[in-house]
Amino acid sequence: MGFILAQALTGLSNAAALFLVASGLSIIFGVTRIVNFAHGSFYMLGAYIAYTTMSMLPGIIGFWASVAITGVAVGLIGVVVELVVLRQVYKAPELFQLVATFGVILVVQDLALLTWGPEDLIGSRAPGLESVVYIMGEAIPEYDLAIIALTPVVLFAIWYLFNRTRWGILVRAATEDREMVGALGVNQSWLFTGVFFLGSLLAGVGGAIQLPKGGADLLMDFSILSAVFVVVVIGGMGSIPGAFIAALIISELNVFGVQLLHQSTLVLMFVVMALVLIVRPWGLLGKPEKPGQHGQVGELARPIAIMPTRGKWLFAAMLVLLALLPVLDDSFLLVLMADIIIFSLFATSLHFLMGPGGMVSFGHAAYFGGGAYAAALSVKYMGAPMEIAIMIAPLIAGCLAIIIGWFCVRLSGVYLAMLTLAFAQVLWSIVFQWGEVTGGDDGILGIWPSEWASDGVVFYYLVLVVGSAGILLIRHVLHSPFGYGVRAGRDSFVRSEAIGINVKLMQWMAFAFAGALAGLAGGLYVFAKGSIFPDEMEIARSFDALIMVLLGGVKTLSGPFVGASTFTLLQDWLSRFEYWRLVLGSMIILLVILFPQGLVGFARDKFGRLINVRGEDHA
Amino acid sequence: MLKSFTKLAVAASLTASLGLAAAPGYADTIKIGDINSYKRLPAHTIPYKNGALLAIEEINKAGGINGNKLELVSRDDQGKPGEAIKIAEELFSRDGVAMISGSLFSHVGLALASYAGQKKRVYLAAEPLADALVWAKGNKYTFRLRPSTWMQASMLAEQAAKNPAKRWATIAPNYAYGKDAVHAFKTVLKSMRPDVEFVTEQWPGLFKIDAGAEVQAIQASKPEAIYNVTFGGDLAKFVREGKLRGLFKGKLTVGLLTGEPEYLDPLKGEAPVGWLVTGYPWYSIKTAAHDKFRNAYQARWNDYPRIGSLVGYNTMLTIAATLKKTKSLKADDLVAAMEGLSVSSPSGDFSLRAIDHQSTMGAYVGTTALKDGKGIMVDWKYLDGAKYLPSDAEVRKMRPAN
């Protein structure tokens, strides 16, 4: 009995930091509709800044003052990010802000390394609360009890702010209808800035109060990110009480999971998230999105047309150039280009889902990695030759997408995206955990091309042929009746149903198709690298694809290729410098501000007339 | 490469004989590729790089390798295996490196080993600990320097067997390294002490430990001794919660790698006391070779050496010894030179075993203590790695034939 109580209290105290960070994210999303990937970075900054202030301000007052100072400091950093970066791109297409927040993550990582050094910092214990009290014979740290008491206070304060103050009421009004609030004379950009301040402040305080239980290190931004997203989604995006309940559920589950299911620690919260979303698609306390309420921001995607002759010549010329590349006799260039082609295929498959399909996937790496693992496993266990393995990859990945898609197409918008993330994480943890079959994180090694393709040049041609065939297939399908059906479903669900299109079926098939092509990319990838590890299924890989698509321009067809090339080349080139993340992050932010339609979108808007008179999207 | 190398060598000897050689007077430059996760875990990899660079500078100051200058081309792999493979290709084909070395993460090391085996290019793994690297997944072109998980875990198990404790609990991060480390420790301890039982195994996610809950769960199983494999931020949280809740009182606690400055130093005054650990007591090693290394390192970097520094330094010493042994830079000749190669290093002499390409570099095993608000290792001894490696017959069973 005492043991259960002690574990429950531990769970409650863990919930505190999680709730603070998650509520910040939830508030920011609820009002600005920005999915702020950089929220983990604010949490990390909170921990570092609090470490510094606590070492300067001793004593009980110093400790709690440090927490407050940290909150304000991180809040102000959030304001700077909002003013300098995000305000420039509110008008950009849906989710484009994601790319900007990704740039912020990179910049903050290097700045934190520069400021606080590489070594982990261990937080000092909270003065006056260093000891334990005994409850039913179990030792409970005093600090745990203090933050358990603190959490409801914060919850109440946020509730009060949003329900009893003029500012909060305006914010809620802006959440409901931005235009109307603006029309009534409220300066909504400052409202947004204020919301960003509050959200970042909460993340900073979350980072500060966990110091006595842990510390500050350079990996904490990503390690909290998935948990925070899970909490926000389970609770319902934008719902503070929901975030509170979800933080409690997740923390308690983790605590008891440790005791009952030792190996479950990685996957438990994602399983819960998937279950909640399947049963309650908008989270526990979230509200269903009204149709059309948060659809595409900015101009609608233009209709797409068959590529004009000039475009086809351009494309053919590029293929010829790529085919002539081996003349240069630079084996590294071939390896780099093979990477770019593979990632282009991967990004194009995601684009099919995001652009024409109108369904954003945060977990596209599931199919990329799924295909790669399918190929690797078929080599390892069935002795399949490379040719067969590369064909198996899209089949298995397509099957995975059929299963995942069946659940996902019931949802829309960010919830759909989060459910894909949950499935990707579940799949990742299966691969990671099931070491006897998948090799766990030691991966599967020695998956090299067949004898005839083992030469670098031959393998490059293989990638070029298969990769460009895949990309052309996706383009071709876009112009097939199926492609038209998918786009019709995106643009108007009701009308499509009315003319007899089964939209959900179309979306489901779009999932399967995009998944299969991503799997093909994964199949090529595993033979290019000779080994496969669970990393290729991780969130970071899904983000890569998102960045590539958005950077190129989600409302363009050649965007994924341009985005994949730009991102891969930038990363390859910049990683030679010591503080490359700082430079890469800044460049991404700059690109986002300069080209809010994506690189190709920008080029089309500026120079589109040159190749295309009707203003339709051939690009 | 070899041709131009001989040509240059001839040219150099000609200029030298004419008395025209410029001050440093290197005939040629031999490049070594260095791939490591410089951004993902800088606290480990930067000391590694500093150690490696120090060795390179000293080697060049002493005239280089057979009159040739040694140069390290360092690249960041972002902690991603796929990236590391790409960089390896670039280092070999564009930079013309003779061989590659480095890496810290096991999976990156394994990916590079697979690449080395396939492309027939030499890779000296510096820090990855995975046993598979030289055994189950070993190949002709891959060597490893640091004592592996199995070696360090068996050193600890051997010491732990002397303790009367019978009920053991383990806690390890839930990934390959953690599993290997627990498996090795259990196997060796059981073989020496059939009477011990393992009452609980805890597997927190790497860098996602829920320390309070883990401590409670271990306490609930009432162990007499604990085997800890957590490290970094996880270790800090585990130690803090464990101390607060009285977990370690009256129990023997064994910590794999816990005594390494990379892990022990961030804990400062909260470093655990009385744990049996492997680590690196750089402050109290009193051999002439180590004194020289420590003084040179502190003078060069204005910092004290970590275990990564020592491994980085020894890696470059190993490469230098290889290149002195063979004039050829062909992969097969390098492999032939490396098999059985013996190296004198600050941590003592070691050799690269021909049978599995594992070095016999050992580890320091001791007890943790607090001194001036800092964790240190006391009563330590250096255990030679050669004694903790499986027999040739066992290696042959595990390692695929070349």
Q: B97-114, pLDDT tens digit by residue?
A: 999 999 999 999 999 999
Predicted confidence at residue A311, as pLDDT, reads: 78
Q: How far is A263 from chain B (nearest CA, A)?
A: 6
CB A599 within 8 A of CB A591: yes
In this structure, are B22 and B158 located in the same domain?
no
Assigned domain for B398 exists:
no
Please write the tens of the pLDDT for every residue from A175-213. Answer: 777 788 888 888 888 888 999 999 999 999 999 999 998
User: Would you say B39 and A222 are in contact if contact means Cβ atoms under 8 Å apart?
Assistant: no
Report yes or no: A121 at the B interface, CB cutoff 8 Å. Answer: yes
Quickly state the pLDDT bin for A618 (edges 50, 70, 90): very low
Same domain, B66 and B167: no
pTM of the model: 0.89
The per-residue pLDDT for A189 is 83
Calculate how close chain A gets to B376, using CA atoms only, in Å.
Answer: 17
Note the pLDDT tens digit of each residue in B121-158. Answer: 999 999 999 999 999 999 999 999 999 999 999 999 99
Rg (CA), chain A: 25
Confidence at residue A585, expressed as pLDDT on a 0 to 100 scale: 93
Which among B323, B388, B393 is positioned nearest to B361, based on CA atoms?
B388
Rounded CA-CA distance B281/A134 in Å is 38
Partner A contacted by B220 (CB < 8 A): yes
pLDDT band, residue B4 (cuts 50/70/90): very low
Q: What is the largest CA-CA distance in chain A?
A: 81
Check if the beta carbon of residue B159 is closer than 8 Å to that of residue B365: yes
Instruction: Using the predicted structure, report yes or no on whether residue B7 has a pLDDT greater than 50.
Output: no
Of A14, A122, A332, the CB nearest to B270: A122
Residue B312 and residue B378 share a domain: no
Q: Which residue has the higher pLDDT, B14 or A214?
A: A214
| Helix or strand holding residue A419 (H, E) | helix A413-433
Higher pLDDT, A613 or A571: A571
Q: Which tens digits make up the pLDDT trace of B67-93?
A: 999 999 999 998 899 999 999 999 999
How far away is chain B from the Cα of A470, in angstroms, using its nearest Cα? 22
Interface residue B176 vs chain A (CB under 8 A): yes
Residues B111 and B18 in one domain: yes
Q: For residue B383, is pLDDT > 60?
A: yes
pLDDT for A193 equals 92
Q: What is the DSSP string of A214-263?
A: SEE-TTHHHHHHHHHHHHHHHH-TT-HHHHHHHHHHHHHHHHHHHHH-GG
Residue A173: per-residue pLDDT: 86
- Asked if residue A499 has pLDDT above 70, the reply is yes
- pLDDT above 90: residue A382: yes
- Going by pLDDT thresholds of 50, 70 and 90, the confidence category of residue A263 is low
Q: Tell me the residues of chain B between 267 and 326 that have a Cβ less than 8 Å away from chain A.
A: 267-268, 270
Name the residue range of residue B19's domain: 2-148+285-361
Q: Are A283 and A414 in contact (CB under 8 A)?
A: no
Number of domains in chain B: 2
Q: What is the mean pLDDT of residues A367-386?
A: 95
| Model pLDDT, residue A256 | 85
Does the pLDDT of residue A82 top 50, yes or no?
yes
Contacts of B201 in chain A (CB under 8 A): 262
Instruction: Tell how far CA A281 is from the center of its chain.
Output: 19
Residue B400 belongs to some domain of the structure: no
Establish if B399 belongs to a structural domain.
no
Tell whether A82 lies on the interface with B, counting CB pairs under 8 A. no
Write out pLDDT tens, residues A537-556: 988 899 999 999 988 888 78
Task: Compute the C-alpha angle B38/B298/A56, nearest 5°.
Answer: 75
A114-128, A603-617, B104-118: which range is least confident on average? A603-617
End-to-end CA distance of chain A: give it in Å, rounded.
Answer: 66
Give the full edge-to-edge strand order of the sheet including B29-36: B69-76, B29-36, B99-102, B123-125, B142-144
A208 contact partners, CB below 8 Å, separation of at least 6: A46, A47, A49, A50, A66, A67, A70, A71
Domain shared by B20 and B81, yes or no? yes
Pair (B191, B84) in one structural domain: no
Residue A611 pLDDT more than 60? no
Using the predicted structure, report yes or no on whether residue A87 has a pLDDT greater than 90: no
Give A308-351 pLDDT, tens digit per residue.
788 788 889 999 999 999 999 889 999 999 999 999 999 999 99
As a whole number, mean pLDDT of residues A407-426 equals 88
Q: What percent of chain A clears pLDDT 70, i.e. is strictly above it?
A: 94
Q: What is the pLDDT of residue A176?
A: 79
Query: Which of A2-16, A150-164, A249-263, B366-380 comes out lowest in average pLDDT?
Result: A249-263
Q: What is the CATH number of the domain that holds B341?
A: 3.40.50.2300
Residue in B78, B179, B210 nearest the CB of A258 = B210
* DSSP 3-state of B303: coil
pLDDT at B5 over 70: no
> Is A531 close to B78, i.e. CB distance below 8 A?
no
In a domain? residue B211: yes
Q: Is A217 on the interface with B (CB under 8 A)?
A: yes
Q: What is the rounded distance in angstroms from the CA atom of residue A401 to the CA atom of residue A349?
A: 12
User: Is the Cβ–Cβ distance between B173 and B206 less than 8 Å?
Assistant: yes
Question: What pLDDT does A24 receive?
Answer: 94
The predicted structure's pLDDT at residue B23: 44
| B139 conformational bin, left if phi > 0, alpha if psi -120 to 50, beta if neither | beta
How many residues make up chain A in this entry?
619
Distances (CA, A) of B221 to B173, B199, B218: 19, 6, 5
pLDDT digits (tens, 9 = 90+) for B266-300: 998 889 999 999 999 999 999 999 999 999 999 99
Contact A243, A235 (CB under 8 A): yes
Rounded alpha-carbon distances, angstroms, from residue A533 to A575, B42, B107? 21, 22, 7
Determine phi and psi for A449, rounding to 5 degrees: -60, 160
pLDDT per position as a tens digit, B169-204: 999 998 888 989 999 999 999 999 999 999 999 988
Report which DSSP code applies to B399. S
Greatest Cα pair distance, chain B, in angstroms, is 80
B100 & B217 share domain? no
Shared domain for B116 and B17, answered yes or no, is: yes
Range of lowest pLDDT (A149-158, A559-568, A604-613): A604-613
Please check whether residue A110 is in contact with residue A579, taking contact to mean a CB–CB distance below 8 angstroms: yes
Q: Residue A214: its pLDDT value, please?
A: 84
Looking at residue B262, its pLDDT comes to: 93
Say whether B111 and A530 touch across the interface (CB within 8 A). yes
d(CA A177, CA B231): 49
Helix, strand, coil % over all residues of chain B, rounded to 5: 45, 20, 35
| Contact of A168 with A161, CB cutoff 8 Å | yes
pLDDT single digits (tens) B13-62: 444 444 444 445 688 999 999 999 998 889 899 999 999 999 999 999 99
Q: Which of A91-100, A598-607, B104-113 has the highest mean pLDDT?
A: B104-113
- What is the per-residue pLDDT for A440? 85
Strand order in the sheet with B252-259: B197-202, B167-171, B225-228, B252-259, B276-279, B363-371, B374-383
Q: Do residues B109 and B140 both lie within one domain?
A: yes
Q: How far apart are CA A223 and CA B237, in angstroms?
A: 15
What is the average pLDDT value for chain B, to the nearest integer? 91
Say yes or no: B140 and B117 in one domain: yes
Task: Mark whether B233 and B373 lie in a shared domain.
Answer: yes
- CA–CA min distance B214, chain A (Å): 7
Mean of pLDDT values over B367-387 = 95
Residue B148 has which token pair? Answer: 């592996």
**What does the alpha-carbon distance between residue A49 and residue A205 come to, in Å, rounded to a whole number?**
10
- Determine the Cα–Cα distance for residues A319 and A332; give it in Å rounded to an integer: 19
Residue B217 within any structural domain of the chain:
yes
Q: Residue B176 — φ and ψ, nearest 5°? A: -55, -45
- Give the position of tokens 């390394």: A113
Instruction: Choose the mutation target among B93, B133, B180, B270 for the interface with A, i.e. most A CBs under 10 Å.
Output: B93
Would you say residue B110 lies in a domain?
yes
Helix A188-209 and helix A2-32, axial crossing angle in degrees, nearest 10: 160
Using a CB–CB cutoff of 8 Å, tell me whether B214 touches chain A. Answer: yes
Selecting from B39, B214, B267 the residue whose C-beta is nearest the C-beta of A258 gives: B214
Strand B123-125 vs strand B99-102: parallel, antiparallel, or unpaired? Answer: parallel
User: Which of A531, A570, A576, A577 best tests the B interface by mutation, with the highest count of B CBs <10 A?
Assistant: A531
pLDDT of residue B17: 43
How far, in Å, CA of B202 to CA of B182, rounded? 10
**The pLDDT value given to residue A264:** 67
Q: Name the minimum distance, in Å, from the CA of A89 to any CA of chain B.
A: 29
Residue B291 lies in a domain: yes
Residues A420, A422, A424: CA angle, nearest 5 degrees: 70
Q: Is residue B397 part of a domain?
A: no
Q: Does residue A105 surpass a pLDDT of 80?
A: yes
B13 & B39 share domain: yes
CB A493 within 8 A of CB A503: yes
The distance from CA A88 to its chain's CA centroid, rounded to whole angstroms, is 21
pLDDT at position A602 is 84
- The residue with tokens 């744990």 is B275
How many angstroms away from the CA of A151 is the closest CA of chain B?
Answer: 18
Q: Could you tell me how far CA A458 lies from the centroid of its own chain? A: 35
Q: Which two tokens stand for residue A233?
A: 């989604």
